[in-house]
Amino acid sequence: MKKTFRNLISKLPIDALANPAPVVAVLPLEGIIGSSGRFSNAINLANLEDKITEAFEVYNVKAIALTINSPGGSPVQSELIVKRIRELSKEKEIPVYAFAEDVAASGGYMLALAGEEIYAHQASIVGSIGVINAGFGYPAAIEKLGIERRVYTAGESKSLLDPFKPEVEKDVKMMK
């Protein structure tokens, strides 16, 4: 068969051109979250603004997939990114789904909150928004070496299995 323009055109999937397949834009969020000054490749709104906007402008985009692999960092940058993604999702009426890869901890978990749904592998490390602050007190030479332990947490499960407290059976079961 002779190769003519008409023969070549007849082999093109014209239906596919007329009705393009829906697209899911993938937006990778990988690394430490922080301002541009401290980390040149950090996750922050300044570094991601164009990529976030582009993801929502992909032709025939029907959803955004956030792939998250971050141990956390700046709560300010985390919140700014989440706010921008939610604004565009609402404005463009495009749903966002978050996928925790290896780690979505602290601010990384906060990034996942930009999604309508969060997905994670059973071995992914996910969670831990909050801070633990532990220290020692020394009143009256720790009451003649009776030593007092002080622990301040932002949640009831933040100091499980503290070596300075008696072991609690339900905490041991939770950790197993």
- Catalytically active residues are 106, 158
Q: What phi and psi values does residue 89 have, to the nearest 5 degrees?
A: -60, -45
